[in-house]
């Protein structure tokens, strides 16, 4: 566990930041970045993830090149499903599970226990290496897929197109609730393992939050999420939690803000100033510039970005104490590095103080 004193991102998550808002991007170590592409010429994605020294190098590259305020562990959300007994293979097209959940009976056959966590120990070692080399004022973010998103991948292998229909159907068959219970037990251990290895903050990524009927989200997903976060914070009270919830309606976003996480990540469909004002003093907010707009030519992007920053700057300073500046989702592969530098330069110029 690391010292969180003096870290901009931790201060913002704790609603006490009086300096400029911290900034980091989901997928900031990725295919848009020449540093990462150089690593990939020599090593497969899987090898980078499973080799702590390489995962550490991947995580630190964006800190050295762009000076983000936080590094995030370099790994993949599907490793936990592999450890639970679901076959996982990697190719140029990305990771793919070899078999999928069919029903509730299949959930009962998934592996659990300490042996599962031991299979993920490479994540802890990578986190320790990053924390040792990361400047003390920078935050280290650990992460995993949130319970619902892991269900979507376990049931359908994806959360796009027809896969959404399959996952929703299997959820309705009775598999969702037992899966959430099983995977939450393992997630708790993963969260504690990464926190003990030096993560200041833990992020739960729920890319599928908006893909399930609202009644199921409220009745099953939210209770499981609340229980997981409550148990983690009771055992690791110094480690803050980010819950990124993609695709939630305004009403469900209000519900998600009560899940117990210290920070709620929002996608770019939400109006950031309105969310900051509505959640002032309650929970910090992460987001939410459009990832697609980061693909614009720099000369076109700059006035768009300036307008977005200026509009957010008009939010009362008291409501910006808890803002973590970033994107509505991850950096897209084709984003020019020049645009990432432009974002950070303007963010610091326009928002020099909270």
Query: SS3 for the chain, per residue?
Result: CCCCCCCHHHHHHCCCCCECCCECCECCCCCCCHHHHHHHHHCCHHHHHHCHHHHHHHHHHHHHHHCCCEEECCCCCCHHHHHCCCCEEEECCEEEECCCCCCHHHHHCCCCCHHHHHCCHHHHHHHHHHHHHCCCCCEEEEEEECHHHHHHHHHHCCCCCHHHHHHHHHHHHHHHHHHHHHHHHHHHHHHHHHHHCCCCEEEEEECCHHHCCHHHHHHHHHHHHHHHHHHHHHHCCCCEEEEEECCCCHHHHHHHCCCCCCEEEECCCCCHHHHHHHCCCCCEEEEEECCHHHHCCHHHHHHHHHHHHHHHHCCCHHHHCCEEEEECCECCCCCCHHHHHHHHHHHHHHCCEC
Q: Which of 59-73, 104-118, 160-174 has the largest mean confidence?
A: 59-73
**pLDDT tier, 94 (very low <50, low <70, confident <90, very high otherwise):** confident
Percent of the chain with pLDDT over 90: 89
Q: Which residue has the tokens 């920053």?
A: 309
pLDDT reading at 354 higher than 50: no
pLDDT reading at 229 higher than 90: yes
pLDDT reading at 352 higher than 90: no
Q: What is the CATH number of the domain that holds 168?
A: 3.20.20.210
Within-domain flag for 2? no
- Cα–Cα distance for residue pair 99/110, rounded to 1 Å: 12
3-state secondary structure 286-305: EEEECCHHHHCCHHHHHHHH
What was the pLDDT predicted at 163?
Answer: 83
Within-domain flag for 130? yes
**pLDDT tier, 169 (very low <50, low <70, confident <90, very high otherwise):** very high
What average pLDDT does this structure show over 186-197? 97
pLDDT reading at 93 higher than 80: no
The residues facing 353 across adjacent strands are 19
The residues facing 140 across adjacent strands are 71
What average pLDDT does this structure show over 313-321? 94
More confident residue, 216 or 160: 216
Number of structural domains in the chain = 1
- Cα–Cα distance for residue pair 179/189, rounded to 1 Å: 16
Q: What is the mean pLDDT of the chain?
A: 94
Within-domain flag for 186? yes
8 A C-beta contact, residue 177 and residue 101: no
**pLDDT tier, 338 (very low <50, low <70, confident <90, very high otherwise):** very high
Please, what's the b/e burial string for 29-58 (b: 16 or more CB within 10 A of its CB; e: otherwise)?
A: bbebbebbeebeeebebeebbbbbebbbbb
pLDDT reading at 147 higher than 90: yes
Within-domain flag for 1? no
What average pLDDT does this structure show over 23-35? 97
What was the pLDDT predicted at 182?
Answer: 96
**Structural domain range at position 190:** 8-350
CB atoms within 10 A of CB 115: 9
pLDDT reading at 162 higher than 90: no
Q: Which residue has the tokens 């926190």?
A: 195
What was the pLDDT predicted at 91?
Answer: 79
- Cα–Cα distance for residue pair 222/253, rounded to 1 Å: 11
pLDDT for 256-294, tens place per residue?
999 999 999 999 999 999 999 999 999 999 999 999 999
What was the pLDDT predicted at 1?
Answer: 59
- Cα–Cα distance for residue pair 236/232, rounded to 1 Å: 6
What was the pLDDT predicted at 108?
Answer: 92
What average pLDDT does this structure show over 41-51? 96
pLDDT reading at 4 higher than 70: no
First-to-last C-alpha distance (Å) of the chain: 28
- Cα–Cα distance for residue pair 199/72, rounded to 1 Å: 9
313 burial via Cβ count (<10 Å: 0-12, 13-18, 19+): middle
What was the pLDDT predicted at 292?
Answer: 98
8 A C-beta contact, residue 301 and residue 342: yes
pLDDT reading at 140 higher than 50: yes
HSE of 83 in the Cβ direction (CA atoms, 13 Å)? 25
């Amino acid at each position: 566990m690391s010292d969180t004193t003096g870290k901009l991102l931790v201060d913002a998550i704790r609603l006490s930041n009086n300096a400029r808002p911290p900034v980091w991007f989901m997928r900031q170590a990725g295919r848009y970045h020449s540093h990462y592409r150089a690593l990939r010429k020599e090593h497969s994605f899987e090898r980078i993830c499973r080799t702590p020294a390489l995962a550490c190098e991947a995580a630190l590259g964006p800190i050295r090149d762009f000076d983000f305020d936080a590094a995030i562990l370099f790994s993949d959300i599907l490793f936990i499903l592999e450890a639970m007994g679901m076959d996982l293979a990697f190719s140029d097209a990305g990771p793919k599970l070899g078999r999928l959940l069919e029903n509730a009976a299949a959930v009962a056959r998934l592996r659990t226990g300490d042996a599962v966590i031991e299979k993920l120990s490479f994540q802890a070692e990578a986190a320790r290496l990053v924390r040792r080399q990361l400047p003390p004022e920078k935050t280290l973010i650990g992460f995993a897929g949130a319970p619902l998103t892991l269900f979507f991948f376990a049931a359908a292998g994806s959360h796009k197109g027809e896969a959404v229909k399959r996952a929703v159907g299997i959820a309705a068959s009775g598999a969702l609730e037992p899966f959430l219970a099983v995977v939450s037990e393992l997630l708790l251990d993963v969260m504690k393992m990464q926190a003990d290895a030096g993560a200041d903050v833990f992020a739960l990524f729920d890319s599928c939050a908006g893909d399930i009927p609202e009644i199921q989200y409220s009745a099953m997903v939210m209770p499981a999420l609340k229980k997981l976060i409550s148990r983690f914070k009771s055992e690791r009270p110094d480690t803050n939690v980010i819950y990124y919830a993609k695709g939630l309606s305004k009403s469900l976003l209000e519900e998600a803000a009560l899940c117990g996480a210290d920070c709620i990540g929002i996608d770019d469909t939400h109006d950031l100033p309105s969310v900051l004002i509505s959640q002032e003093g309650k929970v910090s907010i992460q987001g939410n510039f459009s990832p697609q707009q980061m693909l614009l030519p720099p000369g076109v992007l700059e006035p768009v970005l300036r307008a977005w920053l200026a509009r957010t700057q008009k939010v009362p300073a008291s409501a910006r104490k808890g803002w973590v500046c970033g994107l509505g989702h991850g950096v897209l592969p084709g984003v020019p590095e020049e645009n990432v530098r432009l974002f950070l330069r303007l963010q610091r110029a326009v928002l020099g103080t909270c």
